[in-house]
Amino acid sequence: MKIFILLPDGVGLRNFSFTNFHKIGIQKGFDITFWNNTLFNLNELGFNEVRFKNPKTHPLTDLLKNAQIQIELNLNVKKSKDTIYNHYRFPFSYKTIKASLKSTCVNWLIFWNNSEKGLERIRINIAKQERKTKLYFDSLEALKIEKPDFIFCTNQRRMLAVAPLLAAQDLGIPTATFIFSWDNLPKATKIIETDFYFVWSNHMEKELLYYYPHITKNQIKVTGTPQFEPHFDKDFLMSKEVFFETNKLDVNKRYICFSGDDITTSPNDPSYLETIAKAVIKLNNKGFNLGVVFRKCPVDFSNRFDEVLLKYNDTITSINPIWEKKGEEWHAILPTKDDLVLQMNTIYHSELVINLGSSMVFDYVAFNKPCCYINYEVKNDKVPHWSVNTIYKFIHFRSMPSKESVFWINKEDEMEGVIQNIISNDSTKVVANANEWFRKINQHPPQFASERIWTAIEEICKK
């Protein structure tokens, strides 16, 4: 069976190109080709690929997509009677004439389509416009030549995937998409419509059915995500001596990891990092021998941490993600296979992770290590409307089976005590709760997600 793996952007590379996903598919006898719209040359990995040629969406579909997102959020607020969905919105821009016209058009579309029926009209109109594009006809031509049996799209939110998937559906080729992140569905990021949907867990399946009532249960495959699979491959682990020497760490110290978020999610990360450094210095004065490793968000190429890193260079060591910046937009910043190894070893050789509401809690619990969530405000006049209180009200945190799935740092002056408590005492209970959360969020065993995806694809193709 010939399978096309549609990569509309770089976010799918990590899950489906740099894990064992491709290798497992080949072992199962599949003929695999990546339909590649990334800037990464998959021939370098020995993979077959068909590349897109200057793909463009229809000029109207970006307006329709933005209206679709806003209408879905409106309906979610109405259905749930919960205003937290309003915090997923990006504000309309009126800074230029072009931006003002765009915002006005989107608001007009929302006004006339702000219902389930209206939402369906928007979806139909997106398909109508995309079938007019050169990308749609190029996709038809490519599919007629290649004749795949199945199209698997690596994420659900990229507009450029719509025309290729429509072309496949119009040729009678079954299609599926992968919901690529644990927080995506409440945020109304599902732009594309496919025949099947691959999700992380039964929990995510329930979310998909709740937010998209036109989807039926038999369209959903619960498989887990490949993103955690490398954590269970011990061949990637370096010895302490090699890892510490490579990254200029002190072999006599125990390290705490601070993992950064993007600047929109956590604009106060530099302040949090400085507080951790100060706490570690105080603990070292008490006889502890600790250091801080800082792993910044892979898509954060700002200089906002430079001052803190320079000031505390004896305490903080920055271990930067190995991602490649191929352009200015976020989807043009691409992961690498080397970064999978780097992240895995950063986790393995540190004691715990501290961050603001990151999914790194699951990466660390895969190694039976704890996570601390920062839960206090920092005054920042540049972002007066940002609040840490909003972060933990987001829908995906409600999946936490116990508040004690992480350690909480609720005040700045608690940082030292929480770190000391974890370093000095047993964190088994919190790690056990985090493991329960991990099992709820992602189908277990987590190391067999690729196997389950290929099994599901095989079942669909045989029908």
Q: What is the DSSP letter of 260?
A: -
Number of H helices, E strands in the chain: 17, 15
175: left (phi over 0), alpha (psi -120 to 50) or beta: beta
The residue extents of the domains of the chain are 2-57+133-225+446-462, 61-128, 232-441
pLDDT at residue 39, as a whole number: 87
Tell me the C-alpha distance between 55 and 135, whole Å. 6
Phi, psi dihedrals of residue 355, rounded to the nearest 5°: -165, 180
pLDDT truncated to tens, each residue of the chain (463 aa)? 999 999 998 889 999 999 999 999 999 999 999 999 998 899 999 999 999 989 999 999 999 999 999 999 999 999 999 999 999 998 899 999 999 999 999 999 999 999 999 999 999 999 999 999 999 999 999 999 999 999 999 999 999 999 999 999 999 999 999 999 999 999 999 999 999 999 999 999 999 999 999 999 999 999 999 999 999 999 999 999 999 999 999 999 999 999 999 998 899 999 999 999 999 999 999 999 999 999 999 888 889 999 999 999 999 999 999 988 776 665 667 888 999 999 999 999 999 999 999 999 999 999 999 999 999 999 887 887 888 989 999 999 999 999 999 999 999 999 999 999 999 999 999 999 999 999 999 999 999 999 999 999 999 999 8
CB contact at 8 A, 183 and 395: yes
Q: CATH second-level architecture of 232-441?
A: 3-Layer(aba) Sandwich (3.40)
Alpha-carbon torsion angle 12, 16, 17, 19, nearest 10: 130
Instruction: Tell me if 2-57+133-225+446-462 shares its fold with 232-441.
Output: yes
For 168, the 3-state DSSP assignment is: helix
pLDDT at residue 379, as a whole number: 87
CATH number for the domain running over 2-57+133-225+446-462: 3.40.50.2000
